[in-house]
């Protein structure tokens, strides 16, 4: 059984759904130049970039155990969901996620809260599962925390152009009265609070864990790949506000640089977590052992 990372009174587990090459780097980071990519190949390949210049990413959830609760942060892509424009996420039918959940000692009944840093497909998927042709909440005892503003934004988009991730992974949770719409600086209690990190989406939040301070922080998609730590100005293709995303990323990394806070990224390849260090005008993670 995987024991997780213990820091103070919280324990952190990574529940991996997928890991490997996904998006083409030059496409994913539209302001990346060929020269810059070439300059950085030495440390990027093969761990963070494959031979075809595709980014190596991890799709995962974090589970944080505090003295009070068992909390899931982000819920990956999920099974049986049609994502025709993303072949690697289309109609997944894998037991890997549930097996990894079990290997860390959890069942779906153990989760008290699910927190979605934002409402993109790969962060809301396991919010629901298919049961007799209907999408039902996967974690029957959980309250699901979404940003009220983030939810309002995507609801409006969804009304104009229906979005599968909203109709399949978000609305069924709302309809089941399992959702709590909160502000992106919401404090759950003395161990868990949200912190606003907008830019990738309008009201994206990060999650801070640990009694009396930030012992660990969960980035969501304020960063996708270590190349964006090295160059915080590299925007991601679908950032809703690029300038804001850059400012958020830089502020976040400045804040945690050279501190004891464990930075838990959502998409960096395993082990995905480490301490923030300076690297030139940017940053890097000093990874903890897996
Ligand atoms: Zn993501």
Q: Provide DSSP, the chain.
A: ----EEETTEEEEEEEEEEEEEEEHHHHSTT--HHHHHHHHHHHTTTTB-TTSEEEEEEEEEEEE-SS-EEEE---S-SS---TT-GGGTT---SHHHHHHHHTT--GGG-SEEE-SS-SHHHHGGGEEEETTEEEESSTT-EEEEEHHHHHHHHHHHHHS--HHHHHHTHHHHHTT-EEEE-TT-B-SSSEEEEE--SSSTT-EEEEESTTS-SEEE-TTS--SHHHHH-TT---TT-SSHHHHHHHHHHHHHHHTTSS-EEE-SSSSTT-EEEEEEETTEEEEEEPP-
Cα of 260 vs centre of ligand 1, distance in Å, is: 25
Cα of 117 vs centre of ligand 1, distance in Å, is: 9
Cα of 233 vs centre of ligand 1, distance in Å, is: 18
Cα of 249 vs centre of ligand 1, distance in Å, is: 15
Tell me what pLDDT residue 87 has: 85
Cα of 148 vs centre of ligand 1, distance in Å, is: 19
Cα of 39 vs centre of ligand 1, distance in Å, is: 26
Cα of 222 vs centre of ligand 1, distance in Å, is: 9
Cα of 221 vs centre of ligand 1, distance in Å, is: 5
Tell me what pLDDT residue 1 has: 63
Tell me what pLDDT residue 211 has: 87
Tell me what pLDDT residue 256 has: 97
Cα of 33 vs centre of ligand 1, distance in Å, is: 22
Residues of the chain with pLDDT under 50: none
Tell me what pLDDT residue 85 has: 85
Tell me what pLDDT residue 290 has: 63
């Amino acid at each position: 059984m995987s024991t997780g990372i213990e820091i103070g009174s919280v324990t952190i587990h990574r529940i991996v759904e997928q890991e490997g090459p996904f998006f083409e780097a030059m496409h994913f980071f539209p302001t990346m130049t060929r020269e810059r990519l070439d300059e950085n190949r030495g440390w990027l390949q093969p761990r963070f970039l494959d031979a075809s210049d595709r980014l190596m990413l991890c799709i995962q959830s974090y589970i944080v155990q505090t003295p009070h609760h068992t909390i899931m942060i982000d819920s990956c892509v999920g099974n049986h969901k049609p994502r025709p424009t993303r072949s690697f996420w289309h109609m997944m039918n894998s037991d890997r996620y549930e097996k990894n959940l079990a290997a860390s000692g959890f069942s779906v009944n153990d989760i008290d809260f699910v927190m979605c840093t934002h409402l993109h497909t790969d962060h809301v998927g396991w919010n629901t599962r298919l049961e007799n042709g209907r999408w039902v909440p996967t974690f029957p005892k959980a309250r699901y925390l979404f940003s009220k503003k983030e939810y309002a934004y995507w609801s409006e988009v969804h009304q104009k152009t229906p979005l599968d991730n909203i109709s399949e992974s978000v609305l069924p949770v709302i309809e089941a009265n399992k959702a709590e719409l909160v502000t992106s600086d919401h404090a759950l209690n003395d161990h868990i609070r949200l912190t606003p990190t907008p830019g990738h989406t309008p009201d994206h939040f990060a999650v801070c864990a640990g009694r009396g301070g930030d012992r660990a922080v969960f980035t969501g998609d304020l960063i996708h790949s270590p190349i964006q730590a090295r160059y915080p100005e590299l925007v991601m293709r679908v950032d809703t506000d690029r300038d804001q995303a850059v400012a958020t990323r830089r502020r976040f990394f400045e804040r945690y640089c050279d501190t004891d806070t464990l930075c838990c990224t959502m998409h960096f390849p395993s082990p995905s977590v480490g301490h923030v260090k300076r690297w030139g005008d940017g940053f890097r993670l000093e990874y903890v052992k897996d």
